[in-house]
Amino acid sequence: MKKLYGIGTGPGDKELLTLKAVKEIELASVIFAPNNKGKNMALDTVEDFIHGKKIVLLDFSMGKVGKEDYINAAEIIYNEIPEEGTGAYLTIGDSMIYSTFIYIMKELEKKNIQVEIIPGIPSFVAGAAKSKTPLILKGESFLLCDEFNEEVLDKIDSICVLKTLENKKEILNNLENKDYVYRYMKRVTLENEEILVDRDQILKDRDYISFIFGRRERND
Ligand SMILES: C[S@@+](CC[C@H](N)C(=O)[O-])C[C@H]1O[C@@H](n2cnc3c(N)ncnc32)[C@H](O)[C@@H]1O
- Residue spans of the domains in the chain: they are 2-118, 123-216
Q: Is the pLDDT of residue 218 over 80?
A: no
Ligand 1 centroid–CA 84 distance in Å is 33
- Ligand 1 centre to CA of 92 (Å) is 7
For residue 208, which atom of ligand 1 is closest to its CA?
27
Among protein residues, the one whose CA lies closest to atom 15 of ligand 1? 123
For ligand 1, atom 5, name the residue with the nearest CA: 93
Given pLDDT bands bounded at 50, 70 and 90, which one contains residue 65? confident
For the domain bounded by 123-216, which CATH number is listed?
Answer: 3.30.950.10
Burial degree of 166 (CB within 10 A; 0-12, 13-18, 19+): exposed
3-state DSSP: the chain helix, strand, coil percent, rounded to 5? 35, 25, 40
Domain 2-118 architecture:
3-Layer(aba) Sandwich (3.40)
The reported pTM is 0.95
Q: How confident is the model at residue 39 (pLDDT cuts 50, 70, 90)?
A: confident
What pLDDT does 217 receive?
79
| 172 Cα–ligand 1 center, Å | 19
**Residue 160, Cα to own-chain centre: how many angstroms?**
13
The secondary structure of 23-79 as a DSSP string is HHHHH-SEEEEE-BTTB-HHHHHTGGGTTT-EEEEEP--SSS--HHHHHHHHHHHHH
Angle between helices 67-80 and 100-108 (to 10 degrees): 70
Portion of the chain with pLDDT greater than 70, in percent: 98
Q: Counting beta carbons within 10 angstroms of the beta carbon of residue 22, is it exposed (0 to 12), middle (13 to 18) or buried (19 or more)?
A: middle
> For 110-129, how does the pLDDT look when each residue is reduced to its tens digit (9 = 90+)?
999 999 999 999 999 999 99
